[in-house]
């Protein structure tokens, strides 16, 4: 399962309100994209779900369990950071195995899970290499592999492709979409790129200054933007 529910979630840093109030329901297996300009609160909202930031108010539930005060590692989620978060001195194998070693899993289980992730991500031939000997796209796949082996209830991505050039971004976008089709796991994906949002999402959450402007499918947003901001941002006539 992988349902995520936010009720009346608010976030302030000191006296500054960053997220005035968000209500959101994510269904099991859904691909949800948070889209909005820089500074609109996308990363903050993702970090609240991950537990990397504490909410100022409201509740977060995962599969019906209130996790508002549960530590990040115990929420069953996996955050995919940009590829530069890999350990440069470790092999691809050990980078992917790292979270399993930390969790105290046995050598055989680790080996099985690492090889399965490598197969899904087309990394089987690169397991002995170091990140520095890989292309940008391969490095990003290793970062995803490190999330896959934990078999999370949901994947959280924060602008995973923003370091890559335009051509590679297109390829990786297709790979992430394919991965979602294979795993059928809930994914939340943050981007400021409208094209990524429109092509990847089952459901888009449009953020602007910490406010949710609209939640809907790409088609709904395109056909019936709630306001001028959404219309302008998604690029449809209104
Ligand atoms: P986005 O990911 O959409 O670019 P962020 O969630 O990173 O936006 O930031 C939203 C707003 O919250 C910005 O105005 C940013 O400056 C502010 N902000 C983010 N993190 C902190 C923090 N730790 N302390 C104070 N302000 C923050
Ligand atoms: Mg951000």
Percent of the chain with pLDDT over 70: 97
| Residue 39 CA to ligand 1 centre (angstroms) | 6
Helix H or strand E segment including 49: helix 42-50
CB atoms within 10 A of CB 73: 12
Q: Does the structure show a pLDDT above 90 at 206?
A: yes
Tell me, yes or no, if the pTM score tops 0.90: yes
Give the tens place of pLDDT for each residue, 99-129: 999 989 999 999 999 999 999 999 999 999 9
| Residue 217 CA to ligand 1 centre (angstroms) | 26
Average pLDDT over residues 20-25: 97
CA-37 nearest atom, ligand 1: 3
Contacts of residue 6, defined as CB under 8 A and 6 or more positions apart, other chains included, come to 22, 23, 24, 25, 48, 49, 58, 59, 60
Average pLDDT over residues 176-197: 94
Q: State the Rg of the chain over Cα.
A: 18
* Burial status of residue 14 (CB atoms within 10 A of its CB: 0-12, 13-18, 19 or more): exposed
CA-14 nearest atom, ligand 1: 25
Q: Determine the pLDDT at residue 168.
A: 86
Give the tens place of pLDDT for each residue, 50-85: 999 999 999 999 999 999 999 999 999 999 876 668
The least confident of 95-99, 169-173, 219-223 is 169-173
Token pair for 50? 């991950």
Nearest CA to ligand 1 atom 21: 13
Q: In terms of pLDDT, which residue wins out, 163 or 137?
A: 137
Binned at pLDDT 50, 70 and 90, residue 238 comes out as: very low
- The beta-carbon contacts of 104-112 under 8 Å, at least 24 apart in sequence, are 110/149
Q: Determine the pLDDT at residue 44.
A: 97
Region of 140 on the Ramachandran plot (φ > 0 left; ψ -120 to 50 alpha; else beta): alpha
Pocket test for ligand 1, best of 13, 45, 209, 233 (most atoms within 8 A of CB): 13
CA-159 nearest atom, ligand 1: 2
Percent of the chain with pLDDT over 90: 85
| Residue 205 CA to ligand 1 centre (angstroms) | 17
Contacts of residue 24, defined as CB under 8 A and 6 or more positions apart, other chains included, come to 4, 5, 6, 9, 205, 212, 215
């Amino acid at each position: 399962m992988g349902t995520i529910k936010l009720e009346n979630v608010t976030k302030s840093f000191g006296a500054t309100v960053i997220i005035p109030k968000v209500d959101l329901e994510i269904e099991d297996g859904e691909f949800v994209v948070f889209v909005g300009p820089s500074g609109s609160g996308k990363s903050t909202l993702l970090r609240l779900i991950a537990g990397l930031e504490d909410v100022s108010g409201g509740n977060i539930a995962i599969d019906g369990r209130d996790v508002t005060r549960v530590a990040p590692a115990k929420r069953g989620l996996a955050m995919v950071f940009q590829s530069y978060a890999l350990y440069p001195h470790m092999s691809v194998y050990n980078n992917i195995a790292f979270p399993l070693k930390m969790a105290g899993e046995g050598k055989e289980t680790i080996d099985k899970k690492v090889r399965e992730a490598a197969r899904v991500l087309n990394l089987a031939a690169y397991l002995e290499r170091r990140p520095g000997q890989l292309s940008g796209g391969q490095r990003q796949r290793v970062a995803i592999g490190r999330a896959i082996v934990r078999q999370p209830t949901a994947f959280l991505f924060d602008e995973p492709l923003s370091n890559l050039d335009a051509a590679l971004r297109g390829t990786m976008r297709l790979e992430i979409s394919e991965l979602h089709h294979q795993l059928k796991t809930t994914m939340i994906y943050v981007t400021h790129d409208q094209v990524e949002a429109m092509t990847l999402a089952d459901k888009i959450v449009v953020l602007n200054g910490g406010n949710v402007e609209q939640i809907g499918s790409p088609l709904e947003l395109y056909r019936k933007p709630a306001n001028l901001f959404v219309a302008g941002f998604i690029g449809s006539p209104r």
